[in-house]
Copies of this chain bind each other. A is one copy, B any other.
């Protein structure tokens, strides 16, 4: 296998992981989502704290997210860019999760997502995830209505 073919293969595997994650999200399949993360995942999440660490904390965060949403969960992703070496990769993209909160409000803001991966025991795992929206420096408000 040439180096170029190897690189393309790793990118394909990362792309598949991204698709598996999205499929699990739409199905509210928490185990399926968590299967993609390393045990010591370090997360810069959309809400406080500044950072948290570990699969258990990440699972809890998603449990709360699912609990706050009623009915079906939609998911859209665009501008996916993947860079992959043999055992290390990163990707970034814009995502939006579309749903209805328990309080009746609609959730459909675009967020920025950067994901870092390591190959652990021959399997790609997410070791770091950074999800955010920018904020308006004048008002101090999160910019939740931006379109890509």
State in angstroms the CA–CA spacing of A91 and B122 once bound together.
Answer: 22
A 35-56 contacts with B by CB, 8 A: 42, 44-51
Closest residue to A86 on the B side, CB-wise?
B85
Quick check: A146 and B49 within 8 Å, CB to CB? yes
Assign chain A's interface to a size class.
Answer: 35 or more
A125 within 8 A of B: no
Give A contacts to B, CB under 8 Å: 42, 44-51, 79, 81, 83-90, 92, 94, 110, 112, 114, 116, 118, 127-128, 130, 132-137, 140-144, 146, 148
Quick check: A112 and B48 within 8 Å, CB to CB? no
Quick check: A135 and B142 within 8 Å, CB to CB? yes
